[in-house]
Structure formats: C-alpha cells, structure tokens
C-alpha cells in the first residue's frame, strides 16, 4: 500500500496525467521544455502548474466526488440567494419610486 497515488509526490502525479502546455508567444517563439520538470523553468512557455491536479477530476485529484458536489451545491445556493435578494431589492425600489423606467 505504500505506492498508492496518495503517497506520490505532486510533480510525479502531474507528469503521469499528461499536463497541458501553457503558451506565451508575446516576446518570441515557443520555448516549451520537452516534458514537465520538478523545478520551475525559466521559459515563457511552460507546463500547467501541478496544483491544477488538486482541483481537477483525475484519479489523483484529492477531491472526491461527494465533497466536491456538496461544496458546489453550497456555492450555488449562495449565488441563487444573492440573486433572489437583489431581485427583491430592485422590485422594492421600483415600487417605492426610487427607480423609474
């Protein structure tokens, strides 16, 4: 059990899950390293940050489905509540004459 995905260093898990390149060609041609490395390269183009795995949905992401769904539902409820309250405030302002069409 000592060689599970949980115990692998983040940069190893990152390399195993085919990271995406992040390109920046504003100041010259592509200088993307051939593969991700442990240290941060001194290049304009680079591989995505290994921390992306922690919030993505891979087998090593560290975010199981149940907790992600629960957190998403909490954020959605808060957004809906904000939108609902804003609508009520606007309707109240319209009825009291603060807002004219």
Domain residue limits, the chain = 1-63, 64-101
pLDDT (tens digit per residue) in 42-84: 888 888 776 665 555 555 555 555 666 777 788 888 889 999 9
- CB neighbours of 46 closer than 8 A, spacing ≥ 6? 21, 22, 32, 33, 40
Calculate the dihedral angle through the C-alpha atoms of 58, 63, 65, 66, rounding to the nearest 10 degrees. Answer: 170
The answer to whether the predicted template modeling score (pTM) of the entire model surpasses 0.85 is no
């Amino acid at each position: 059990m000592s060689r599970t995905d949980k115990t692998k260093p983040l940069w190893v898990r990152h390399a195993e899950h085919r990271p995406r390149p992040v390109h920046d060609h504003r100041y010259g041609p592509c200088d993307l390293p051939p593969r991700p490395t442990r240290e941060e390269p001194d290049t304009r183009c680079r591989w995505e940050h290994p921390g992306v795995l922690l919030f993505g949905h891979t087998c090593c992401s560290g975010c199981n489905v149940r907790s992600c769904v629960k957190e998403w539902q909490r954020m959605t409820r808060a957004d809906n509540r904000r939108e609902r309250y804003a609508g009520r405030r606007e309707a109240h302002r319209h009825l009291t004459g603060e807002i004219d069409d």
